[in-house]
Amino acid sequence: MEEFKIGDTVMVLGNDCGSINEVGDTGIVTIVDGSIQVQVKGKPNHTNWHTHKELKLVERKIDEEVLKYKTNAEEDYMNVPISVLRYISVLEDKLGIIDLEDQKL
């Protein structure tokens, strides 16, 4: 099953939930909480929930600034103590921060 993230661009493939979005609409994922809220440009931001099976990923954007810092961090990685790296990893997990390696570029 496709995992959707906030900010993903998705296409509506089905509408079994009674969403105001129509099959073929493309929008941005705004909330992922069991069901997925999709904001389509020009439509109200309510009654727009979908199940995973009703959506298809169109594009996943990664912020260019984040990518720049990721590159810099990779260059500095070898000089950082392991305790600091572990702290960052635990903090990211607690905050729900995504792993850029899992993202489609």
Q: Where are the domains of the chain?
A: 9-59, 64-95
pLDDT at 45: 82
3-state percent breakdown (helix, strand, coil) of the chain, nearest 5: 35, 25, 45
Amino acid, single-letter form, for residue 68 = K
Which residues lie below 8 Å from residue 38, measured CB to CB, with a gap of 6+? Answer: 10, 12, 19, 21, 25, 27, 28, 29, 30, 48, 49, 50, 55
Calpha distance 32→25 (Å, rounded): 18
DSSP codes joined into one string, 50-82: E-GGGEEEEE----HHHHHHHHHHHHHGGGS-H
Is the confidence at residue 24, as pLDDT, over 80? Answer: yes
Q: How confident is the model at residue 7 (pLDDT cuts 50, 70, 90)?
A: confident
